Chains A and B, each alone.
Chain A
Amino acid sequence: MPNRTGNLPITPITRKLPVICSILTLVFILSILTALANGPSPISIGEIFSLVSGGDSTNSTAGTILWKIRLPRIILAAVVGATLSLGGMVFQALLRNPLAEPYILGISGGSAVGAISGILLGLSFFPGVTLFSFLGSMLTLGAVLILSGGRSSTGKNSLLLGGVMMNAFCGAFIMFLISISQGSKVQEIIYWLMGNLSMASSSNLSLLLLCLPCFIVILLLARPLNIMLTGREAAIAMGINVRLISMILLITTSMMVSLVVCQSGLIGFVGLLIPHLFRMFFGADHRLLGPSCILGGGSFLVLCDLFARTMPKHGEIPVGVITALIGAPLFIFLLWRSRR
């Protein structure tokens, strides 16, 4: 086969993308199958296939566990993992800071304040808590953008500083809300803050479909994002509307992050670790990094959640604890390796 790239030592994206996506899709499917099969009452792979291929699906106990309990939870884990990873990737690129993630900008915090307010007001999960969570994140984003000031709203440090300020404010506000709440609500909030996926139910999952258009928008803007990373002025001179694209990316990402945060609580390190890991292996091309983050982030959280619910003999650990326990040391190792 003739080398399409002539004497340029570069693998074309059209060849690299299908290979990497196929491998990551395989990993994704294997993670889901493993997560489906394991739990307090194991289901064999053969049983899963016969249930999926339309055997006596909902009547048997295994069927009920598979369709009503495990699958919704796994779908939630996959979408949350994919969204947080992709969101982390976008924020890291926009802030030109490999350590940024939705949490740093205060988006997660704002979303949490909204959701906790909803819980305290005794609202139903949908639309009440979800809507409050979304409003919380959008208000935070608005405040961060105003704090960082009009013209330079996409500047690296001003956004980061605005995010830090809003995060401090949200943190204090969450503490305030906890201190004035009573009884079982406190435990509910704290458990939610630690991040957990046990709230998954098939009725809430349809809401996650809204993440899909957000994914598509971000993937379509991957190429301009690449160029923006090589300098703002150079990007404008290359015909890219830097302000518009930054705005679209910020709003789209905040929207999808708030959608998942209100369903899963605060799960850290996924948005930091997954993009960082793939950037080390595949380089900085966001056309490749975007799909990798979706598939890889999804697989990662599905497996973390599997640990969270199968490791302890009784009950389960919040998945946020698992991601932090795996994420923090791995992140330190990656940093150490990249500095060598």
Chain B
Amino acid sequence: MIALALQDNSLSYNGNKVVDTVSFAAEAGEFFMILGPNGAGKSSLLKLIAGIEKPQSGQIDILGRPKTKYSAGDLAKVVALVAQQAPIDFPFSVAETVLMGRSPHLGLLGIEGEKDYALAAEAMSFTGVEQFADRRLDQLSGGERQRVMIARAICQEPKIILLDEPTNALDPAHQLKIMDLMERFRQEKKTTVIMVSHDLNLAALYSDRLLLMKNGRVVVIGTPAEVFIPEFIEKSYECELLIDENPVGKVPRVMVIPEKFR
């Protein structure tokens, strides 16, 4: 079943096309990653899906229904976004933050019930942040905070979860935790994971399929083996890269070639 389908979506800022006639579809439960150099339009594409920006042209179908038919609240019940950075100027606790994920499901007064607390507790134990529950967000490390924001998105019970560079600026241990978490989540809940990333090797290791972008356009869509060939990767990133086979998982592996070793 197709969870998310984009047809010829375009978005411009001040006449500058940042997303240019992009089309793709992701299956339910698929781990779908969006790659591309800086300024390729990856985050903008994610904003279109999350409803933060409206496409100037094109259609987006979510769970087989046009996105325009969803109210903002209904859309939030099926699509969750983990943004790049969460501001921490105000001292919400971890538990309070995760519980906010229930917001689209609550009534007018926004009072949480037993089920909401149970789901928040479950999301926190799933992401391994339950030991920080009463700590404030600003008292956590970047990786821990990112896991809290993922817990909040999970608590939203979405069918599609969007993540904008969740492993950015994290050490390998935290990167691994987050990627494994998302892999486990989509397997257990059959949720579609759409992740924007800069890490080619993590993408090759975890994604079912990839979308490679450049200048707002799709370069190629396919499995890691189909995408990670020099023609596409070097054209997109405009640098010489070495692609071989990763002994882990027998997936493609990409390495940069420093000038001194050329």
Contact = CB atoms under 8 A, between A and B. Distances in A.
A122 B95 CA distance: 56
B243 interface: no
Contacts of A14: 111
Contacts of A238: 76, 80-81, 100-101, 103-104, 156
B83 interface: yes
Interface string B50-81: 11100000000000000000011111110111
A17 B99 CA distance: 17
Interface string A263-292: 000000000000000010001110100000
B81 A237 contact: yes
Interface stretch (B86-94, B171-179, B206-214): B86-94
A129 B73 CA distance: 43
B133 A98 contact: no
Contact of B99 (A10, A97, A233, A239): A10
B24 to A, nearest CB: 20
Contacts of B50: 233, 236-237
Interface residues of A, number: 33
Contacts of A10: 93, 95-96, 99, 117, 133-134
Interface in B161-195: 162
B111 A283 contact: no
A113 B206 CA distance: 62
A93 interface: yes
A239 B71 CA distance: 8
B76 A279 contact: no
A237 B51 contact: yes
B12 interface: no
Nearest to B111: A14
B95 A9 contact: yes
Given A96-B87, A226-B100, A285 B92 contact: yes
A233 B81 contact: yes
B39 interface: no
B81 A234 contact: yes
B121 interface: yes
24 contacts: A4-B117, A5-B114, A8-B117, A10-B95, A12-B112, A96-B89, A98-B90, A229-B92, A231-B83, A237-B51, A237-B52, A237-B81, A238-B100, A238-B101, A238-B103, A238-B104, A238-B156, A239-B71, A239-B72, A239-B103, A240-B103, A279-B90, A279-B91, A283-B96
Interface of A: 4-10, 12-14, 93, 96-98, 223, 226-227, 229-231, 233-234, 236-241, 279, 283-285, 287
Interface of B: 47, 50-52, 71-77, 79-83, 85-87, 89-93, 95-97, 99-101, 103-104, 106, 110-112, 114, 117-118, 120-121, 124, 130, 133-134, 149, 156, 162
Given A97-B89, A283-B92, 16 more contacts: A8-B120, A96-B87, A98-B90, A226-B100, A229-B92, A230-B86, A233-B81, A234-B86, A236-B52, A237-B76, A239-B75, A240-B72, A240-B103, A241-B72, A283-B96, A284-B91
